[in-house]
A and B are shown apart, each in its own frame.
Chain A
Amino acid sequence: MELKTVKKSDPEFYQLLEGTFSDSKRAIPLRPMNQHIAFELATFEILPVAQIKKPNLLMLTNELLKPQHFLIVLVPFLLTLFSLSLESQILLSIKTKVILLFLSLLVLTFYMNLQRTLAEHYQLSHLYASAPASSILQKGWMRAATVRRLSWFFLGIAMLLASPLVIEQPEKLVPLVLLTLILHQGLHMQKEGALYLVRSALNHLLLSGPLVVVGTCYVFQNQPQVQHWALAVAWGLWILLWRQLRSFREMMPFTLSKSSRFIAQMGFDKTQSLLRKLIITIPMIVLGLFSFFPQAWIWVLTTAILHSYFIIVEMDCLNKIQSSLSSHLEDLASIAQKHHYIFAIILILIGLLTK
């Protein structure tokens, strides 16, 4: 086993991290044995590229791009689209706009996923998490320098695809696009303090709900209605809850590494107590917001049944968690994930039925 330990202040550290130190070898950062001190050192396992077992192309692409995260954007996009008046378009046809917007959102999601993978890699935070963003860099399947170039490529493609849409209404869409990029960059900043926590939560909420909904309305020359704002807030709140339920398992590693994340700042007892309240209140708020939708009874009734089931299951799981290393933390993350997928699919189906 070839190992190399360097100081983080050493220029060689970034070469190892980027993968630019050698064409025939990869440096895999090893998890430090201790997280509770500010580490100056990093140890890498140096592997010949030929020795690294890469998965097939499909699996590699899936691991790199994480297309399942597109669901976060797809749901508000589709639900907004189903509810819009698509009659008066200026330059581009409806079909062209739908395709361009869909593709630009998809490619932008890929860019954001890659940026998250890179942020975790450069901060070495994936070494501490129980569920890192991606195995691409962790297992040496690709070099960080390559992933970075790919991410900029995807951003370029997303901008290119979105440009005809933006050119049509620059005064409305340029600020939205800029805001999206700024908020996204803000997600990866590691800072402490209550203000940062609030800002981070707001970033997540805005990125997943309002920006997509409002952007979609503007692209199709519609003004956002009450229903759209209700959707934007409902979905944004749902994403916040989903993320917190899944993040609870990272409590101990985040706390030990002095992360600025919400759960690390709150502590185990307060987080558990807050989650108990959020598991009930957020779905209730979401149901309340659905009452602003046309044919509200379908939305409210169907999702009420779904949420009722999952609230009971999630609460039961949460109550079994006795410490920040409990195996029930993984169970909670897994249940929250199922809840998220089923909720998203049901919303899309109802949207199709009621359009």
Chain B
Amino acid sequence: MQDISITSLHMDIKIYDPKDFPGYLPKLNLLYDDLFHGGKGFRAKLIRVFAENLAIPQQTEKLLAQTIEFIHNASLLHDDLIDRSSLRRGKTTAWLKYTPEYAVLAGDYLLARVMVNLSGFGNIKLVQYTAEVISDLLEGEWIQDSLIHDFEVTLDQLDRVHNLKTASLFKWCLRSPFIALENYDSTLHQTLEEMGTLLGMLFQRSDDLLDFDIRNYEGKALLGDLKSGYLNSFGYFLTKDLAPDLRKKVLASQSLGELKALLSEKYFNDKVTEFDLINVKLIERYHHLLKFLSEQLTENQRKLCSHLAKLPELLYWRKA
């Protein structure tokens, strides 16, 4: 994906409508700038890829990029408060740095601006789909919250949550450009929906592996999920075949060293390999659907597929 500086991306998309981020609201601008600058803007960059290959007008691209980043960042603001997280993107979380009330209101504000700007654009199907995605996001968060301290949850159940929470934004990135161009073909959109879910699942599973220091190039804190009482997808996979006593000890581990000592390095590495193999099958399914997608696109649009083909590498294997 094109290397665009985060600052320039941020400046591009923060203000779509002159009424976005009015100066008379104290700290709102600071709060949002803080949050956005720590991120990679991946979803907005994905929109740019679509815009370039589908000949989407610049203002429309700006709207779509702003929409997805606003929704994503709104969810982060609320998530951090719900989870009582102290760090986000290497910095103090908004609710701690400012106040919980500001964090909630800032998240609500971003979602409200999304609705205002989208409805001004005039494509009702885009508004409806975006509202559905926000709804899915909230449902996913609601259900995930109920799974804290439930260490008997299965991979299937976790996938259902991730489909609502993580994958919904990827699905939106793939489908919204076509909706904005008023292409509503159902086969096309169902294909994109499936691909979006696969991307979301791969991204989430890769993120879950970071917790266990696998391909942790960003230096993310380890065992964060486990310590907060949440069994992520790799945590489930690692422990599902263990005897109950050992499993209990592993789930109570306070460090990765302690966890590996209980399991053995070989067992741990074998499980990582097995988990990767399962996800390689998901990547194959994604490429199959990509081929199916290319048959539905026009000749000019097909160059999009060469960019989409790189996404599993980026999202799962974390290769730039």
Which residues on A sit within 8 Å (CB–CB) of B289?
A: 5, 43
Residue from A1, A32, A41, A327 within 8 A of B154 (CB atoms): A327
Is A326 engaged at the interface, CB distance under 8 Å to the other chain? yes
**How many Å from the CB of A256 to the closest CB on chain B?**
8
Q: Is A33 a contact partner of B194 (Cβ separation < 8 A)?
A: yes
Q: Is A30 a contact partner of B285 (Cβ separation < 8 A)?
A: yes
**How many Å from the CB of A267 to the closest CB on chain B?**
13
Is B152 engaged at the interface, CB distance under 8 Å to the other chain? yes
Is A324 engaged at the interface, CB distance under 8 Å to the other chain? yes
Q: Is A40 a contact partner of B285 (Cβ separation < 8 A)?
A: no
Q: How far is the CA of A327 from the CA of B236 in the complex (A)?
A: 12
Which residues on A sit within 8 Å (CB–CB) of B194?
A: 32-34, 41, 43
Q: Is B281 a contact partner of A39 (Cβ separation < 8 A)?
A: no
Is A319 engaged at the interface, CB distance under 8 Å to the other chain? no
For residue A249, which residue of chain B has the nearest CB? B157
Q: How far is the CA of A326 from the CA of B146 in the complex (A)?
A: 8
Which residues on B sit within 8 Å (CB–CB) of A5?
A: 191, 288-289, 292
For residue A30, which residue of chain B has the nearest CB? B285
| 0/1 string, B187-208, CB within 8 A of A gives 1 | 1001101100110010000000
**How many Å from the CB of A155 to the closest CB on chain B?**
34
B: number of interface residues (CB 8 Å) = 30
By secondary structure, the B interface counts as: helix
Q: Is B146 a contact partner of A7 (Cβ separation < 8 A)?
A: no
B window 114-152: CB within 8 A of A: 142-143, 146-147, 150-152
A window 259-307: CB within 8 A of B: none
**How many Å from the CB of A333 to the closest CB on chain B?**
13
Is A165 engaged at the interface, CB distance under 8 Å to the other chain? no
For residue A3, which residue of chain B has the nearest CB? B288
**How many Å from the CB of A275 to the closest CB on chain B?**
18
Which residues on B sit within 8 Å (CB–CB) of A324?
A: 143
| 0/1 string, A125-139, CB within 8 A of B gives 1 | 000001000000000
Is B284 engaged at the interface, CB distance under 8 Å to the other chain? yes
For residue A324, which residue of chain B has the nearest CB? B143
Is A190 engaged at the interface, CB distance under 8 Å to the other chain? no
Q: Is A130 a contact partner of B156 (Cβ separation < 8 A)?
A: yes
Which residues on B sit within 8 Å (CB–CB) of A37?
A: 190, 193
Residue from B142, B153, B284, B285 within 8 A of A327 (CB atoms): B153
Which residues on B sit within 8 Å (CB–CB) of A86?
A: none
Q: Is B146 a contact partner of A41 (Cβ separation < 8 A)?
A: no
Which residues on A sit within 8 Å (CB–CB) of B288?
A: 1, 3, 5, 43
Is A52 engaged at the interface, CB distance under 8 Å to the other chain? no
For residue A2, which residue of chain B has the nearest CB? B288
Is B163 engaged at the interface, CB distance under 8 Å to the other chain? yes
For residue B283, which residue of chain A has the nearest CB? A1
Residue from A33, A322, A323 within 8 A of B201 (CB atoms): A33
Q: How far is the CA of A252 from the CA of B146 in the complex (A)?
A: 14
Which residues on A sit within 8 Å (CB–CB) of B191?
A: 5, 41
**How many Å from the CB of A259 to the closest CB on chain B?**
15
Q: Is A326 a contact partner of B150 (Cβ separation < 8 A)?
A: yes
Known contacts A5-B289, A130-B156, A325-B161; is-contact A34 B193 (Cβ 8 Å):
yes
| 0/1 string, A304-342, CB within 8 A of B gives 1 | 000000000000000000111111101100000000000
Known contacts A324-B143, A327-B153; is-contact A41 B187 (Cβ 8 Å):
yes
Is B186 engaged at the interface, CB distance under 8 Å to the other chain? yes
**How many Å from the CB of A108 to the closest CB on chain B?**
33
Task: Other than A5-B289, A32-B194, give 13 A-B pairs with Cβ distance below 8 A.
Answer: A1-B284, A30-B285, A33-B163, A33-B194, A34-B163, A37-B190, A40-B186, A41-B187, A326-B147, A327-B152, A327-B154, A327-B157, A328-B152
A–B pairs, 7, beta carbons within 8 Å = A1-B281, A5-B289, A39-B190, A43-B194, A323-B142, A323-B143, A325-B161
